[in-house]
């Protein structure tokens, strides 16, 4: 290689190295300046301490002025995914009742060691668990023993598949007497899709169950009032009415493709035939 060419390449390498060092220094300076900029914090909208709704859309005017005077205690076992949902009914339910009459336990699995209070409640003769099935007795027809009063009612809060997994996945839930609601009313939680017309939200189940246990139909009306207000507000601001899967399938409006899994397909067919799953 010629000497002049070697010298030229060496000089170019030197200049390139200097240029790269300058660029690196400028990049560090820019990053340093950016790191010193004040961070803009985006805070959540202030929420109401009672109904847990944003203050601008607070539902407290639709809640009872004072918590309902009930002797029955509700134990809500809530799937962890429910806590992240925007439109939840459990906070509205809790706002209608005294704090010691509506207790929420979050999780998928519950054991006697980790949840001694819930375990004691499950093993009590005065406890009922609300979950439909062939072994469940109709709550409306059940003769409640006054000597066991006050009663406890366990309600699973989650989607139907989540609730099923929690019910069968926890041995503690085998202890209480299993009951179900035999109501002919359709859900008023019309901004969320339900499997069938007879499926109810957690708040609605609690309202019906409390009305039966307390022998007071007014309880049902009072607890449903904030749910009705919530749905009305959402519909006024662009939400759509969600018909049940049963309704959509029967009327040929179900947009999704039918499942290939035989078990799921059979379940969908039972919906069409109006057989409870």
Per-residue pLDDT at 106 exceeds 80: yes
pLDDT at 102 over 70: yes
What pTM value is reported for the model? 0.72
Contact 206, 145 (CB under 8 A): no
Where does the pLDDT of residue 127 fall: very low under 50, low under 70, confident under 90, or very high at 90 and above? very high
What are the residue boundaries of the structural domains of the chain, listed by start? 71-237, 243-271
Q: H/E element holding 136? A: none
Query: Which pLDDT score, from 0 to 100, does residue 125 have?
Result: 96
pLDDT of 32-77, one tens digit each? 554 555 544 445 678 888 888 888 888 899 999 999 999 999 999 9
* Listed residue (79, 106, 109, 107) closest to 170, CA to CA: 109
The pLDDT-based confidence of 156 (bands split at 50, 70, 90) is very high
Q: What angle do CA 58, 152, 82 make, to 5 degrees?
A: 40
Q: Please write the tens of the pLDDT for every residue from 209-254.
A: 999 999 999 999 999 999 999 888 888 878 777 766 665 666 666 6
The whole-angstrom separation of Cα 31 and Cα 10 is 31
Q: pLDDT over 90 for what percent of the chain?
A: 47
Sign of CA dihedral 127, 141, 224, 132: positive
Q: Which CATH class is domain 71-237?
A: alpha beta
Predicted pLDDT at 40? 47
- E strands in the chain: 73-78, 102-106, 127-130, 137-138, 152-157, 177-180
Say whether pLDDT at 103 is over 80.
yes
């Amino acid at each position: 290689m010629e000497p002049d060419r070697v010298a030229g390449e060496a000089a170019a390498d030197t200049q390139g190295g200097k240029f790269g060092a300058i660029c690196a220094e400028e990049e560090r300076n820019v990053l340093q300046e950016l790191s010193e900029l004040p961070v803009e914090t985006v805070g959540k909208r202030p929420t109401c301490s009672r109904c847990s709704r944003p203050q601008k859309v607070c539902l407290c005017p639709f809640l009872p002025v004072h918590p309902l005077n009930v002797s029955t205690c509700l134990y809500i076992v809530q799937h962890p995914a429910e806590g992240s949902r925007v439109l939840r009914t459990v906070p509205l339910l809790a706002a209608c009742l005294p704090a010691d009459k509506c207790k929420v336990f979050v999780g998928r699995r519950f054991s006697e060691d980790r949840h001694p209070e819930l375990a004691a409640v499950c093993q009590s003769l005065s406890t009922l668990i609300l979950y439909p099935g062939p072994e469940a007795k109709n709550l409306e027809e059940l003769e409640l023993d006054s000597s066991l009063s006050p009663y406890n009612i366990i309600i699973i809060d989650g989607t139907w598949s989540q609730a099923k997994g929690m019910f069968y996945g926890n041995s503690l839930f085998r202890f209480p007497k299993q009951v179900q609601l035999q109501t002919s009313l359709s859900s008023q939680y019309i901004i969320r899709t339900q499997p069938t017309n007879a499926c109810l939200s957690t708040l609605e189940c609690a309202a019906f169950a409390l009305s039966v246990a307390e022998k007071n139909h007014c309880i049902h009306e009072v607890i449903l009032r904030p749910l009705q207000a919530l749905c009305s507000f959402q519909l006024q601001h662009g939400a759509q009415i969600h018909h049940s899967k049963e309704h959509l399938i029967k009327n040929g409006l179900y947009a999704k493709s039918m499942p290939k899994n035989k078990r799921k397909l059979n379940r969908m067919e039972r919906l069409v035939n109006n057989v409870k799953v």
